[in-house]
Amino acid sequence: MEQYNYLTIEKHENGIVIRLNDDGRDLVRDFEESQMDYYATTAYLLEDVFANSEWEELQPEEIGALTEALIITDYAGNVYSDINTYQAHFWYELAAEESGCWFAKA
């Protein structure tokens, strides 16, 4: 399990699970109260992950995907996406689900 400022990431054979840690849950509550933009919230939660790890965000057009879902990749080139959740709702799903947000390996 990889731990970051606001999130933890667990790798599995066929995907990853992203969970909020306590600081992440506090941050999401603060953003909800201030009515922060969904995209800004998502970017803020993931900023530490992308800046300090092997993970990178892919834009859908980079891989020919027709989705608004968040797509991420690791250093080995594995691509992961939560095809059931639009990026705008990614942080909300994290906050609502104790089990985390599942990203399937493409």
CA torsion, ordered 4, 89, 35, 37, to nearest 10 deg: 80
Q: What is the pTM assigned to this prediction?
A: 0.77
How far apart, in Å, are the Cα atoms of 24 and each of 13, 34, 46, 91, 94? 25, 15, 10, 10, 9
Total structural domains within the chain: 1
Residues 6+ apart with CB under 8 A from 62: none
Q: Is 46 helix (H, G, I), strand (E, B) or coil?
A: helix
Q: Which domain holds residue 21?
A: 2-105
Residues 7-22: tens digit of each pLDDT: 999 988 888 888 888 8
Q: Which of the residue ranges 12-16, 23-27, 73-77, 87-91 would you say has the lowest mean pLDDT?
A: 87-91
Question: Which of 39-43, 48-52, 61-65, 98-102 is predicted with the least confidence, judged by mean pLDDT?
Answer: 98-102
Q: Give strand pairing partners of 12.
A: 15
* 37-60 residue pLDDT tens: 767 777 888 898 999 898 998 888
Backbone torsion region of residue 64, taken as left when φ is above 0, otherwise alpha when ψ lies between -120 and 50, otherwise beta: left
Nearest to 103 by CA among 88, 87, 81, 76: 81
Q: What is the mean pLDDT of residues 20-30?
A: 85
Q: Quick one: the chain helix, strand, coil %, rounded to 5?
A: 35, 25, 35
Per-residue confidence (pLDDT) for residue 83, from 0 to 100: 61
